[in-house]
Structures are given as C-alpha cells and as structure tokens.
Amino acid sequence: MAHVVHMQLYLDKIDDFAEVDRVYATYFPEDPPARVVIAPSKMPTDTTVEMTVVAAKDLKSRRAVSLKSLTPLGHASAAIAAGGRLYLSAVYGTTAADAEQRLQQAVSEAGFRTVAYRNDYGSAYGSAATATIPMNKLPENAKVAISAIAVREGTGDGTIFCPVQTGSGATVQEQVSAAMARVQQRLAQDGANLSHVVATNVYLDDINEFTPMNETYAKFFSGAPPTRTTVQPYQTADRSKGTPVLVRISMVAVKD
C-alpha cells in the first residue's frame, strides 16, 4: 500500500464519505496517495464502494507534495511526485474556469509544466462538454472536479495517456466502435496500438447496456484485455430528445 500514488474512490452515496475516509485512513498511516472522490449514478454490481489505484514500485522517488494552492479532501496528499510525474488530488470548484485556474496554480507551484492526463467531471449533465464526464454527485456541493497527472517536459518514459474519447452513432455499439477508432488514432500518433493499452475507464450512459458495450469493446482486443473500470456516471439521458453521448472511454498505454 505504501507504493500507491493515486486513488480513484467511487462512492454509491457521497454522504458516506466521512465514514469511508475514517476506515480508508487506517490503510495509509503516512503520506497517503493523491485522490479523487466521485459519486457515480450506478456501478455494475450495485457495490457501494469501488477503488482503482496507480502504484509506483520505486519508493525512493515517491514523495508527498504539500501545496498552498490545493487543499486535498479528507485523508489525501495534495499531490504525490513519483517517477517524473505529479499525481494531483482532485481540484474541486464551482465553475470550470475556477477549477482550471486552481489546477494550473497547483501544477506550477509544484514545479511541473505539462498536464499529461486529466479527467474532468461536471455535476450538471446539460452543461457538460463532450469531454467532460457528467457525474451524479461531487463532494462538498462542487460543480466541477478535475483529476490530473502532470509531467516535466521530456520525461519520455513510454507511457501514453489518452483522454476521454467519444464517438457518433445511434446505438451504444456504434458509439463504442467510433470512440475506439479515435483511441486508435491517438495511439498511432505515438507509434502505439491497442495491444499497448494497460488500463481503461468506460463511462456508460446506461449501465443496463453493459453487455452490448462489452461485446463491442472486446472485439478490439485480440489478446489479454487491459484492466478496466466501468460505471454509469449520471442519470440516463432522455433519448426522446435525440441521441446523447452513450459512452466515454479513456485509456493509458505503455509502449515497452
């Protein structure tokens, strides 16, 4: 557990956060990982808590970073620096501009320059941009949250971060295929392909469409598929008013 540098904590009920955090803290007595806390609408198996983590094996390079510009929520470090990267706790804000400004301040204060990977969450579906993941609830009545990883220029460690991709189509199968095509284009820019993907996040408009999503998604991975987190982040959209974004996919790939 000492090797964990970043945590995504998904809660069925955001009101459970204080109790979850109390138990969570016992597993990280010193320098806890950076963390984002979000409450999706539904998780695949009706679980109350889900977690995904990033760990760095070299503890000598791992250090907690305190930041005046970023106060973490609960038992978390503002940021963890490890392996030439800066893993930031989520920046929560009342507006996208507010959260963006605070993110840039935190990155600059820590001595990093480039945001290599980010997930943007918004609590209002209607106002969410395509690349923004609408989330059922965010902590402390926040309207926006940004979870990010920053790098110093020229790290060149072979890791490729692919932010949220979407695709057009009338069905979830069509949108998965289109989104995956965009992912492939992004990977190709760095001389990689889907065989290099190690982790994905899939955000479904309707968790009841897990099976058709999964069947289409599986066609893109002939070998061992990457690890994956799948949630329904927000209430199912009203499709009588047109075809909304039915799936959002982000990925991390390793070239070596």
**Three-state SS at 153:** coil
- At residue 127, the pLDDT reads 44
Give the pLDDT confidence score for residue 250 in this predicted structure.
95
Residues (pLDDT < 70) of the chain are 124-130, 154-156
Supply the CATH classification number for the domain 159-254. 3.30.1330.40
pLDDT for the residue numbered 199: 96
pLDDT at 223: 84
| One-letter amino acid of 34 | A
3-state secondary structure of 94: coil
Specify the pLDDT at position 182. Answer: 96
pLDDT the model gives residue 128: 47
pTM of the model: 0.92
Whether the Cβ atoms of residue 164 and residue 248 lie closer than 8 Å to each other:
yes
List the structure tokens of 112.
Answer: 């990093």
Same fold, 4-151 and 159-254: yes
Count of beta carbons in the 10 Å neighbourhood of residue 30:
7
Residues 64 and 31: their CA atoms lie apart, in Å, by 6
Give me the residue spans of the domains in the chain.
Answer: 4-151, 159-254
Topology of the domain comprising 4-151: 60s Ribosomal Protein L30; Chain: A; (3.30.1330)
Pair of tokens at residue 193 = 């392909």
